[in-house]
Chain A
Amino acid sequence: MATLKDRLDEFKRTFESGAPPYNAPREAIATMHRATDELKASGIENAVLKVGDRAPNFSLFNQDHAQVNSTDLLREGPLVVSFFRGHW
């Protein structure tokens, strides 16, 4: 099975080639790179919660509009929490 990195790299290669199905214009790709570079340079990564920090508790609705409480879940075992922005 391909690693996640292989799959992401493959997608990136296709997208950044400007070929179908995405047909991404060169300027658009440059703009996206600029944004990522600027975000990285801002130092934001240094201010996030890190290993050894205490995770905040939260209570949020899931896809079926049921309340999910982190304290309840942690009582059963460790949690792998994946933050994603939407499509990506």
Chain B
Amino acid sequence: MMELEALQEVNSEVRALGARILAISPQLEKYGRTVHRKLNLAFDIVTDLHLKVAEQFGLVFVLPDYLRDLYAAFGSRLDAFHDESEYRLPMSARYIIDSGSVIRAADVNADYTIRPEPSDTVKLLRELTDSATRSR
């Protein structure tokens, strides 16, 4: 949520550079809709049901039993939120993909409390669009 909020704050800069933000989560559409409305996001949240796309990026892991039990004790049920009976999750990650489908930035961390700065993403996008303009 904090990351989505921070991305929303740079959304107009990203759009001005001709790029677009897309948030991907395994949570069911209705939960994505709730977050989207609550934060009043100007970019889409798409549902990666059963982590099909996250798998292709190599981001998926299985939540260990002891953590599953802990989350359940807190009332957080992944199987209900994600329709994910195997309790898998994606690592948090931010990618920049250029218009030729090539990955230009990849920030992945097994520690979900560490995220890249949105301002750094904007900087990288600016470099990317600058070099695209120069090579034209």
Contacts and interface: CB of A to CB of B under 8 A. Distances in A.
A48 B46 contact: no
Given A3-B117, A40-B110, A50 B48 contact: no
Contact size range, A: 35 or more
B80 to A, nearest CB: 11
Q: Is the interface of A mostly helix, strand, loop or mixed?
A: mixed
A52 B25 contact: no
B56 A56 contact: yes
A48 B2 contact: no
Chain B interface SS verdict (over half): mixed
Give the bracket for the number of chain B residues in contact with chain A.
Answer: 35 or more
A26 interface: no
Contact of A74 (B95, B101, B109): B101
A77 B3 contact: no
12 contacts: A4-B115, A8-B114, A35-B63, A36-B113, A45-B110, A50-B103, A63-B35, A78-B17, A78-B98, A83-B25, A83-B94, A84-B25
Given A49-B57, A68-B46, A70-B22, 4 more contacts: A8-B114, A36-B110, A78-B98, A81-B93
Interface of B: 1-4, 6-7, 9, 14, 17-27, 29, 31-33, 35-37, 44-49, 52-54, 56-59, 61, 63-64, 66-67, 70, 74, 76, 78, 81-82, 89-106, 108-119, 121, 125, 128-129
